[in-house]
């Protein structure tokens, strides 16, 4: 894995040394993404410069050095990622008479482009990647991001300088960059706890989307096209004809075995994240089945029972026979990490599971350089509880007049969440649930909804009306508010999966995994997001994904060939930390300082009143406002860390 950056300066011819120095200074901000090597390339006549930081995984020799020029001297490539079918592609090209200098996938990629063209190369690739390509003949810069959005790529134009990078910090390092906070993106942060693409926290800087290619020349504006899309017209339209359930699941198992096997190719030590849930257990089981030695597995645990999955991971590891390592996290470890999060995530990011994700990455990196994870199973196979919950809720709500539903919401709010907790604790065990009072209040938020899509938006929103907290901030629209999507994807659960795959997955889950793992120079690979699996899952009937009120049915059926059902069947548990308790305890002074009325007012980005109300409610114990407060806290900490205006 690597870090890439560069720029195209249209203004005037530049001195070679100046271009190289500037590209190097930008690339040096990405050293954590590539500690094993660095490189720059520049063409003063064209005003183009690439910078690169290398984490050596395949071909550790200088033959894998980047930026890399094609043998015909036409193309220059700076690349971040892994092409998992590079060995087959290489053999194809060798059979056509092409000779290679080394065995890196970088060389395979640049030579395929040189001989077949970029448009014909992209459909052939199986992998995760973000790369920049300079065509010296046409003087065209192309930026490309993988189909699912596993690897990040930012871009922006300031005056006559076009900038790009794996992370915002490299763009900030160029002197032409001008930092202006996008208040609409800040509203998005409060709603989702992340900034939705294509926006970034800065005006003038965008995220290249999954499956997108951007081209820019000196003669025109940047042009973005899709070389791959997740086609909603194919939702549930299984292409296997009359295949029965068993044959579909068997075919899926073959795809997963192939995807996992390809991601086990490495010239450096390799392991797996293991939580003990369906997805990570399945990936681990496939890895162990394909290995002659015990694979390394890693998990972290917490002393608080509601947050600890380590005991389940340990049982799965023992059953599969892996070489398992676990670390129980002292609360101080998580708290001590918090001041480093703004620099690590580079723009405000407030999914608090960023903390355990970093801690398990740091633990894993002590032993290996590559780790496989189970991310993607929930989106592909309807694993999130909210899908089924939203579907059930709406079936009950849609027949009730909205005035009655509004009265119901008001009734819920007559008691505090703590009071509801006490009442529910006296009910039979099957009716109890953690934070039941807060869940009822979440229900009150969505009772007035006028559609299941509005129910879904309510469930994924941390702030229901985030605009009230951001003066002059207009929330970006986009796919989440596209009423026409219901006509294309009539099934509500499938529609929610589609929306999560295009928003929450790349902008939250994959961003979190990328930044946390790359902060410790660990390459994380996600086999369940192989695009062939995504396409296959997308065509599967929803009735095969959800059975008897439980999601991920195909994955469970495959997993139970390797792990006993009783080890896995339990309520879904998120990868979380007790942020709410910490904000009332050891993090209270830190939070009070960042969210003081004076500081919020002086900063000018927030209306202090709603944030102070949430803070007071949380400290009093009347409400658990950790999810609403973590976004403003991460933004304020990010402002302090970066010195942004």
- Select which of 1, 2, 128, 436 is catalytic: 2
Q: For the CA atoms of the chain, what is the radius of gyration? A: 25
Nearest to 523 by CA among 105, 211, 125: 105
Q: Report how far apart, in Å, the C-alpha atoms of 146 and of each of 143, 164, 202, 215 are.
A: 10, 16, 23, 15
Q: What's the gap between Cα 628 and its chain centre?
A: 20
Q: Which residues, at least 6 apart from 543, have a Cβ–Cβ distance to it below 8 Å?
A: none
Nearest to 148 by CA among 234, 227, 211: 211
Nearest to 353 by CA among 324, 325, 373: 373
Hey, what are 422's tokens? Answer: 């006490």
Structural contact between residues 469 and 606, judged by C-beta atoms closer than 8 angstroms: yes
Structural contact between residues 262 and 126, judged by C-beta atoms closer than 8 angstroms: yes
Q: Give the DSSP per-residue string, 221-245.
A: --EEEES----GGGTT--TTTT--H
Hey, what are 10's tokens? Answer: 């249209």
Hey, what are 202's tokens? Answer: 């800065």
Hey, what are 581's tokens? Answer: 């308790």
Hey, what are 110's tokens? Answer: 């640049």
Helix residue ranges, H only, 551-625:
553-559, 565-568, 579-584, 588-594, 597-603, 608-620
3-class SS of residue 186: helix
Structural contact between residues 364 and 371, judged by C-beta atoms closer than 8 angstroms: yes
Count of CB atoms situated within 10 Å of the CB of 236 = 16
Tell me whether residue 407 is one of the annotated catalytic residues: no
Q: Which residues, at least 6 apart from 524, have a Cβ–Cβ distance to it below 8 Å?
A: 273, 361, 370, 371, 372, 373, 513, 514, 517
Hey, what are 206's tokens? Answer: 């965008």
Q: What's the gap between Cα 359 and its chain centre?
A: 17
Burial class (CB within 10 angstroms; exposed 0-12, middle 13-18, buried 19+) of 536: buried
Nearest to 630 by CA among 260, 247, 354: 354
Q: Using the structure block, give the residue that is written with the tokens 């999060």.
A: 341
The CA distance from 61 to 68, in Å, is 13
Pairing of strands 48-54, 37-43: antiparallel
The CA distance from 177 to 76, in Å, is 25
Q: Report how far apart, in Å, the C-alpha atoms of 594 and of each of 339, 483, 546, 625 are.
A: 12, 38, 44, 16
**Omega of the bond prior to 67 within 30 degrees of 0, cis?**
yes
3-class SS of residue 429: helix
In sequence order, what are the beta bridge partners of 370?
270, 523
Nearest to 52 by CA among 27, 31, 35, 20: 27
Residue 323 dihedral angles phi and psi, to the nearest 5°: -90, 95
The CA distance from 79 to 155, in Å, is 15
Pairing of strands 270-273, 296-301: parallel
In sequence order, what are the beta bridge partners of 208?
none
Q: Which residues are catalytic?
A: 2
């Amino acid at each position: 894995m690597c870090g890439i950056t560069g720029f195209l300066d249209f203004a005037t011819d530049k001195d070679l040394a100046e271009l190289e120095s500037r590209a190097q200074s930008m690339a040096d901000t990405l050293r954590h993404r590539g500690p094993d090597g660095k490189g720059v390339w520049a063409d003063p006549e064209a005003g183009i410069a690439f910078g690169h930081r290398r984490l050596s995984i395949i071909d550790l020799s200088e033959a894998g050095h980047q930026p890399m020029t094609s043998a015909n001297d036409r193309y220059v490539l700076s690349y971040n990622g892994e092409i998992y079918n590079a060995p087959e592609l290489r053999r194809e090209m060798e059979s056509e008479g092409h000779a290679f200098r080394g065995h890196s996938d970088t060389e395979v990629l640049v030579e395929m482009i040189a001989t077949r063209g970029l448009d014909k190369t992209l459909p052939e690739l199986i992998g995760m990647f973000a790369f920049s390509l300079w065509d010296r003949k046409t003087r065209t810069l192309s930026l490309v991001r993988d189909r699912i959005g596993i690897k990040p790529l930012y871009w922006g134009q300031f005056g006559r300088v076009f900038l790009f990078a794996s992370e915002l910090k490299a763009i900030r390092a160029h002197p032409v960059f001008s930092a202006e906070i996008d208040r609409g993106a800040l509203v998005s942060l409060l709603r989702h706890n992340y900034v939705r693409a294509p926006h970034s926290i800065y005006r003038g800087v965008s995220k290249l989307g999954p499956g997108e290619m951007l081209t820019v020349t000196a003669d025109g504006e940047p042009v973005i096209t899709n070389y791959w899309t997740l086609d909603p017209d194919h939702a549930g339209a299984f292409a296997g004809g009359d295949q029965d359930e068993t044959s579909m699941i068997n075919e899926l198992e073959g795809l997963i075995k192939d995807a996992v096997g390809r991601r086990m190719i490495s010239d450096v030590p390799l392991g797996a994240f293991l939580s003990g849930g369906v997805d990570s257990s399945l990936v681990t089981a496939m890895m162990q089945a394909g290995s002659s030695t015990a694979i390394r597995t890693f998990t972290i645990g917490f002393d608080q029972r509601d947050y600890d999955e380590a005991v389940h991971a340990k049982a799965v590891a023992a059953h599969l026979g892996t070489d398992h390592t676990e670390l129980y996290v002292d609360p101080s470890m998580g708290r001590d990490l918090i001041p480093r999060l703004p620099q690590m995530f580079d723009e405000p990011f407030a999914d608090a599971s960023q903390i355990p994700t970093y801690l398990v990455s740091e633990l894993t990196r002590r032993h290996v350089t590559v780790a496989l994870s189970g991310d993607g199973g929930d989106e592909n196979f309807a694993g999130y509880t909210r899908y089924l919950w939203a579907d059930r809720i709406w079936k009950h709500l849609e027949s009730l007049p909205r005035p009655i539903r509004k009265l119901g919401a008001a009734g819920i709010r007559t008691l505090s969440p703590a009071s509801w907790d006490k009442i529910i604790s006296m009910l039979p065990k099957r009716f109890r649930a953690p934070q039941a009072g807060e869940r009822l209040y979440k229900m009150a938020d969505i009772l007035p909804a006028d559609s299941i899509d509005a129910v879904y938006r309510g469930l994924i929103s941390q702030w229901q009306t985030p605009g009230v907290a951001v003066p002059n901030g207009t929330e970006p629209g986009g796919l989440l508010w596209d009423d026409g999507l219901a006509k294309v994807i009539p099934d509500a659960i499938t529609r929610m999966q589609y929306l999560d795959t295009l928003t929450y997955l790349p902008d939250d889950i994959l961003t979190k995994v990328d930044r946390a793992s790359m902060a410790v120079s660990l390459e994380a690979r996600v086999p369940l997001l192989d695009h062939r699996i995504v396409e296959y899952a997308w065509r599967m009937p929803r009735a095969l994904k959800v059975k008897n009120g439980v999601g991920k049915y195909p994955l469970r059926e495959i997993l139970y060939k390797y792990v006993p059902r009783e080890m896995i069947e339990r309520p879904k548990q998120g990868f979380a930390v007790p942020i709410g308790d910490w904000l009332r305890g050891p993090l209270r002074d830190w939070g009070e300082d960042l969210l003081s009325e004076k500081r919020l007012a002086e900063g000018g980005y927030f209306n202090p009143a709603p944030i102070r109300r949430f803070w007071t409610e949380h400290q009093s114990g009347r409400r658990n406002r950790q999810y609403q407060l973590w976004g403003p806290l991460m933004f304020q900490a990010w402002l302090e860390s970066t010195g942004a205006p």
